[in-house]
Structure 1
């Protein structure tokens, strides 16, 4: 290993960060988001209808909220066990979908997958950022979600091209995830660094009050971001249907995930250099532009650009907000990361409900996309007020 690669490995805590990223790739990229790519295939295989598929997606969103609430008081010392458990349960859920074809059973499984995906997000973040003390590992950690989306999308595309049905593809995803968790397991046993402390030592009551305000503001911003991104993430395959000719829509979903991988490093770098306030505002504004593009222009280029911009910002929001939340966590009595994830979950539940109501009345997603854009702009305005004591 040369000097530059050694510095990179030390800065980003390569081993532990990759292990935590694998947990997110399994729990989020595979266990949660692979359903987006497999949903149309499960319908063509007559395993799901549009109605039962919508119920399964809704159960997943509700499960995500429930998972965040279940671990609201989780401690950093619990995080390793939770990370491993959620990876294993996610694999079991994927494997179950290879054999179970009853619509209501699938709804239950997707609800469970939503629960463990939220817990995996919180557990991996707690383990790496707080238990291990590797704050600079955040971009590598959260790039695991995008990497999981890309890898699962390509496995779905390859399986479909090889003539596999959706059940066999779920089995392929489960086996691939099992390989990942076995590779990650040794690094998850790493010993923590001495814990770093933020804010409370020598802080004044005024600073603590500022921290409480920032904590509440971050939670609200994060919930609005969950609402803003989920409409594109949920309806992108429907938006692009027929617009790309012979191109498989799953490849556009892969572009969505591909944008998320390097974006985590970009947004982390901006946060370190310019602070949370600037980077979060910019992230949300760019995301708003990406969300509304398909409503302004119905060309293939617009859809691809939207996928790249939203994919390139939604995990950037996480990369910026989660470390910022860690810095103000001392000001609240609950697990701040769990509170953020719960708010995100509420946004993800409300978003599709609003989109469905607007679509029912107008038979177009234009109103939904403009609503999502407005929500993200509101979040950006709130981000302007993030307190200076926690800018960096």
Structure 2
């Protein structure tokens, strides 16, 4: 695409305002309803996580076959995406002003669209790496910045400070990317599929842009819904246990498709495996909010960690197709809940700037996502299977569950008072 064409795209996006002709023509107005704000957050996740980040997962084998992407280059593209995500988390963690976070959120949406479209325009691994980095950077707009902005609006308007519905966008995004590739693959080449994802991202962009409200300082009444700031001990435990969750997540996410594709029932249907994970993930965050109301947030987290351990162990213990599909369902049904519950909790600890606190935890989660695959690669090369990596993931998740126990005891003591 030529420079003037890029310029016209940027001019269009920069002119999108509620009072602009574009906004009025589309019938979009300043958000005043809870469903509008939640829709903006979900669309931000669909764009930046479901498309900009996760579309690469089911498209990877197609790009290997059709675009000449090597195994080594494919691994590097994934690494650059994670590095971009951590860079975005660092930016969010070091930014205090709400106005700046809102600006970064909007920039992230634009980057999500442009980095997706850009993947179709080249076969240069260096340019692809830069685009995947930008795609990872945009992911923080949905996962961190949108989460903080939605939580800010909910608390300002005296709604329950829960992000379960918002984080349903992660599961919907996974389901969207997997189903889209499965349906497009028989008819479209690899670059045409990236074009299709880019156009879809541009459509989803609109509600994510227009319906996300400008953040404002919390009122005294809204601040009363927040939690007492945690001690250093509590924060350190949360960071450590979230690292363990990131470790378990990335190993399962990396190998679940490869493991299930070896089963006769699902051979050659890796995209549909991703859909199974998304189908389980989409309603799970909402369900975990309900569980947390009865057990407490940390109690719900302990249950989620234990179920995810089961999802990791099943492929090690058996090759039974049904049990391995159950593993995918349990994985999808737990990892989004763990993210949702953890980030919502830390956001309520720091209501004035929830995205900054969320970003600090996300850094530990992100470091695990870089370290774990590298370790898994060495184990797989030495053993010839994924079992050793999954066994290590099980141990790490058990450690994370143990770290939750003192937090659970603190939570019970607080609920009793």
Residue 135 to residue 110, structure 1, CA distance change in 2 (3 Å):
farther
In 2, are the aligned partners of 1:80 and 1:123 still within 8 Å (CA)? yes
Distance 1:216 1:83 in 2: 27
**Cα RMSD (Å):** 2.5
Distance 1:109 1:13 in 2: 34
Q: Is 2:248 aligned against 1:228?
A: yes
Aligned counterpart in structure 2 of residue 140 of structure 1, from 161, 165, 179: 165
Query: Displacement, 1:305?
Result: 1.2
Query: Displacement, 1:253?
Result: 0.6
Q: Which deviates the most, 185-194 or 278-287?
A: 185-194
Aligned to 1:175: 199
In 1, are the aligned partners of 2:242 and 2:361 still within 8 Å (CA)? yes
Query: Displacement, 1:318?
Result: 1.1
Aligned counterpart in structure 2 of residue 277 of structure 1, from 282, 288, 298: 298
Aligned counterpart in structure 2 of residue 156 of structure 1, from 165, 181, 186: 181
Residue 291 to residue 88, structure 1, CA distance change in 2 (3 Å):
same
Q: Which TM-score applies when normalising by structure 1?
A: 0.88
Residue 30 to residue 330, structure 1, CA distance change in 2 (3 Å):
closer
Distance 2:209 2:347 in 1: 25
Distance 1:191 1:68 in 2: 19
Distance 2:98 2:330 in 1: 33
In 2, are the aligned partners of 1:140 and 1:265 still within 8 Å (CA)? yes
Aligned counterpart in structure 1 of residue 52 of structure 2, from 22, 31, 45: 31
2:350 is paired with a residue of what secondary structure? Answer: helix
Query: Displacement, 1:140?
Result: 1.1
Q: Which deviates the most, 236-245 or 370-379?
A: 236-245
Query: Displacement, 1:267?
Result: 0.7
Q: Is 2:220 aligned against 1:197?
A: no
Aligned counterpart in structure 2 of residue 254 of structure 1, from 260, 275, 278: 275
1:384 is paired with a residue of what secondary structure? Answer: helix
Report matched runs for 1:369-384 at 5 Å.
Answer: 369-384=390-405
1:48 is paired with a residue of what secondary structure? Answer: coil
Deviations 1:347-372 (A, max 9, x none): 10111011111111101110101111
Distance 2:201 2:152 in 1: 25
Aligned counterpart in structure 1 of residue 94 of structure 2, from 66, 73, 80: 73
Report matched runs for 1:30-179 at 5 Å.
Answer: 30-74=51-95, 75-133=97-155, 135-161=160-186, 163-179=187-203
1:98 is paired with a residue of what secondary structure? Answer: helix
In 2, are the aligned partners of 1:295 and 1:366 still within 8 Å (CA)? yes
Distance 1:262 1:200 in 2: 25
Aligned counterpart in structure 2 of residue 310 of structure 1, from 320, 328, 331: 331
Q: Is 2:39 aligned against 1:15?
A: no
Aligned to 2:20: none
Query: Displacement, 1:152?
Result: 1.7
Deviations 1:19-47 (A, max 9, x none): 11111111111111111111011101133
Query: Displacement, 1:268?
Result: 0.9
Residue 236 to residue 70, structure 1, CA distance change in 2 (3 Å):
same
2:123 is paired with a residue of what secondary structure? Answer: coil
Q: Is 2:236 aligned against 1:216?
A: yes
2:261 is paired with a residue of what secondary structure? Answer: coil
Residue 25 to residue 137, structure 1, CA distance change in 2 (3 Å):
farther
Residue 334 to residue 233, structure 1, CA distance change in 2 (3 Å):
closer
Report matched runs for 1:325-336 at 5 Å.
Answer: 325-329=346-350, 335-336=356-357
Aligned to 1:367: 388
Residue 261 to residue 136, structure 1, CA distance change in 2 (3 Å):
farther
Query: Displacement, 1:309?
Result: 0.6
Query: Displacement, 1:322?
Result: 0.8
Aligned counterpart in structure 2 of residue 322 of structure 1, from 343, 347, 361: 343
Aligned to 2:321: 300
Residue 128 to residue 254, structure 1, CA distance change in 2 (3 Å):
same
In 1, are the aligned partners of 2:40 and 2:209 still within 8 Å (CA)? yes
Query: Displacement, 1:159?
Result: 0.8
Distance 2:225 2:39 in 1: 28
